[in-house]
Amino acid sequence: MKFDDFLKYTPKIAKEVTFATIAHEKMAPSNRMELLREMNSKVMNPKKAAVLMLFYPKQLDTHLVLIHRTSYNGVHSSQIAFPGGKPEIEDEDLMVTALRETHEEIGIHPSKVEIIRSFTEVYIPPSNFMVYPFMGISYHELEFQKQDEEVAGIVELSLKEFLDEKTITSKTMDTSYAGAIEVPGFMVDNHFVWGATAMMLSELKETLKSVF
């Protein structure tokens, strides 16, 4: 979809009611939603984080940026994710956190981003984080500058590819809460996107499909 056409839909996207649980379940491993329901009353003071779902034009077409995290000793090592992270003391709110972290990780200044709306938060059991996603747009083509310590690569996903049902797949893998289970996800640029990022992508995708 051309970016100029995408912009015409943003007022509807901003107001569209989402059915997050249904969308999240599509991309949750078979036992994850049950685990989350069991844990819901037991979750105590999860840490907060915020991420940015940033749309922008590239050669006139609409794209969404993701990052390939570097390899490190942690549960999210080498995963595909949205730019984002934990709040700092100076952050006024989580939207500011998402913008600041995006600036730090991929070099896009907050002044170049217009926030359209927030989406439903996703809890990540292994790291005890509640992640709050925000959707934003940049009106011009972007030049990314990745933070080498945290970002191994930048993934530019076209809206056309994102909406293509062929990107949805599954993979047998070990997770932090179960071994050798079938995990749904998206295949993006030869990377398997799963877990919280896939759940957020699913809600985003269902929202876009409902307004296009």
Instruction: Name the band, by pLDDT with cuts 50, 70 and 90, for residue 175.
Output: low
Mapped onto helix, strand or coil, the DSSP state of residue 80 is strand
What are the structure tokens assigned to 23, written together? Answer: 């969308």
Q: What is Dmax (Cα atoms) for the chain? A: 48
Summarised one tens digit per residue, pLDDT across range 132-167 is 999 999 999 999 999 999 999 999 999 999 999 999
Residue with more model confidence, 40 or 78: 78
Averaged pLDDT for residues 159-184: 85
Predicted local confidence at residue 34, as pLDDT:
62
d(C-alpha 187, C-alpha 170), whole Å: 9
pLDDT score recorded for residue 38: 61
For 102, phi and psi rounded to 5 degrees? Answer: -65, -40
> What are the extents of the domains in the chain?
3-206
Whether 200 has a pLDDT exceeding 80, the answer reads yes
CB distance 129 to 49 below 8 Å: yes
Alpha-carbon distance of 9 to 1, in angstroms, equals 11
The CATH classification of domain 3-206, taken from the options 1.20.1250.20, 3.40.1190.20, 3.90.79.10, 1.10.357.10: 3.90.79.10
Q: Contact, 158 vs 63, CB < 8 A?
A: yes
Which of 31-35, 83-87, 143-147, 170-174 has the weakest average pLDDT? 31-35
Residue 169 has pLDDT above 80, yes or no: yes
Whole-model pTM: value is 0.92
Sheet holding 181-188, edge to edge: 168-173, 181-188, 191-193
pLDDT(44) > 60: yes
